[in-house]
Structure 1
Amino acid sequence: MPMPTILRENRADRVWVRLHRPDARNAIDKAMVDELHGVCDELERDPRILLIAGGDGVFAGGADIAELRDRTPADALEGINSRLFDRIARLPMPVIAAVDGWALGGGAELAYAADLRIASDRARFGSPEPSLGIVPAAGATWRLPRLVGEPLAKEMLLAGRVIGADEALAAGLVTAVHPPATLDAAADALADRIAARDPLAIRHTKRLIDDPTDDPRAAADAAQAECFGSPAKHERMTAWLDQRLERKNA
């Protein structure tokens, strides 16, 4: 049987996925795309936080060039990678990318599809696709300008500029930078902060941010109405009021 291209760790409130093609710098091939679709199948049925990481020193070195070379115009129109990354971006619960080392091409686009990105101090982001005769068509041309602003995005996409962890932090592409040895723990700590909140409220908040409508107030009111009808709202607010009373009487 073929070796798996991802390693998974399932927990009650989260799923860790580690890209695992060490001999190919974690290049994203069709087998990995299919396995990640399987993860999405599960998380759409049973929403949990998703954490995505690579191996030691490489998040993902891009799409698999050997496969890309043989893909046809019909394959491009199928959107093999872009459909996957869109699906990851639309998962009900937040997605965290923990980027250690190189995140290039499709690897960078996978990270851009996450809701939150943290990085090791040796992280590098870049888009070499035009040097290979193709465009960064799996999300970089629309997600990266929104994340870092159009001028920096254009320099990365058009001129091949690669940015490191500190510049990614300054540009807002990542929210924190950590030593490689503590990156996974930092990702778990971030997931812990999300998991401590009400899942229904988190799901609605993510959707309201990602899917703006012509009437965002009405959409927010409808989401709030569902939360107001949830037992968790009453339980959490009661606990908060009880704790405040305890502090006041202490």
Structure 2
Amino acid sequence: MSLEEGVQFRIDGPLGFISLNRADRANAYMDSMLEMIEHALANHIATAEVHAIVFESASGGRFCSGADLDELGLRSGADALNLKSMKVFDEIAACPKPTIAAIDGPAVAGGLELALACDVRLASDRARFAMPETSLGLIPAAGATFRLPRIAGDAVARRMILFGEELNAAQALECGLVADVVAPEALADEVRRWGTKVAGLDPLALRLAKDVLAMTSNDDACRRQTLDSQARLYERRHIGDHLDE
């Protein structure tokens, strides 16, 4: 899969964009796409004129449906202990520049975990959010177990992670999961408005503020337990048995 086919990146003013480009699979990501995201992220971090980094879909009406189910079905317990998605989303969370998820359409499973790794989430009014992993015999394994409770609150996180409850855009705004909701045709302008705001701030102050905020929570224990639990679920029975149901 080429960079153009799976992930696109570009610079527009103060914003560096990373666009998921797999519309035929609702932007489900494979490990090869995660490597492309790493490459694009590093490029934007190293580019001085980029003040903030935006994650979006290259086409409207969808954000990301999470991991590709065909690839997911091939994973073993050992694979679960070294998930590429956890590594890449941690890198996004640790990015020295502010990150924005522009969510138009569904952000599901790992797609929501990608958005949770960003500093700010902006949504269109047709966005929706869900964590359906338990219906597949799994748990969210790329950050939702510790990021979602902190961002949206413990009660909302439990309903979404344990019971698969779906939130619409208005509900996501109410619980703080997203910072703003606009019409789909206004989402690009809203992203640019945030980009203009970030461009007027001091880059060093932003980076240091992000560093301090990261110190307010220690996710290491939860991260280890998440991966250990996912490994047990992979080993219990072949994941493909659930995905075929």
The aligned amino acid for 2:56 is A
Report the CA distance shift for 1:44/1:16 in structure 2 as closer, same or farther (over 3 A). closer
User: Which of 72, 77, 82 is equivalent to 1:78?
Assistant: 82
The aligned amino acid for 1:91 is C
Partner of 1:237: none
Q: Give the CA deviation at 1:13.
A: 2.8
Partner of 1:244: none
Q: Give the CA deviation at 1:12.
A: 5.3
Partners of 2:14 and 2:103 in 1: CA distance: 21
Partners of 1:85 and 1:72 in 2: CA distance: 21
Q: Equivalences for 1:1-250 in 2 at 5 Å?
A: 2=2, 4-11=5-12, 13-46=14-47, 48=50, 49-54=52-57, 55-212=59-216
Partners of 1:124 and 1:159 in 2: CA distance: 16
Partners of 2:12 and 2:186 in 1: CA distance: 20
Partners of 2:170 and 2:91 in 1: CA distance: 29
Q: Which moved further from structure 2: 42-51 or 167-176? A: 42-51
Greater gyration radius:
1
Partner of 1:245: none
Post-superposition CA distance 1:209-241 (Å, at most 9, x none): 122399xxxxxxxxxxxxxxxxxxxxxxxxxxx
Q: Give the CA deviation at 1:74.
A: 1.5
2:129 is paired with a residue whose SS is strand
Partner of 2:226: none
Higher relative contact order (CA 8 A, sep 6+): 2
Partners of 1:156 and 1:65 in 2: CA distance: 20
Q: Which moved further from structure 2: 188-197 or 106-115? A: 188-197
Post-superposition CA distance 1:173-208 (Å, at most 9, x none): 111000001101101110110111111111111211
Q: Give TM-score, length-normalised by structure 1.
A: 0.82
The aligned amino acid for 1:36 is I
The aligned amino acid for 1:167 is Q
Stretches of structure 2 lacking an aligned partner (at least 5 in a row): 219-245
Partners of 2:14 and 2:192 in 1: CA distance: 11
Q: Contact 1:43 / 1:91 at 8 angstroms: preserved in 2?
A: no
2:212 is paired with a residue whose SS is helix
2:121 is paired with a residue whose SS is strand
Identity of matched residues, %? 38
Aligned length: 214
Q: Give TM-score, length-normalised by structure 2.
A: 0.83
Q: Give the CA deviation at 1:40.
A: 2.6
Partners of 2:181 and 2:60 in 1: CA distance: 16
Q: Give the CA deviation at 1:4.
A: 2.5
The aligned amino acid for 1:23 is D
Partners of 1:85 and 1:144 in 2: CA distance: 13
Stretches of structure 1 lacking an aligned partner (at least 5 in a row): 215-250
Q: Contact 2:9 / 2:40 at 8 angstroms: preserved in 1?
A: no
Partners of 1:99 and 1:39 in 2: CA distance: 19
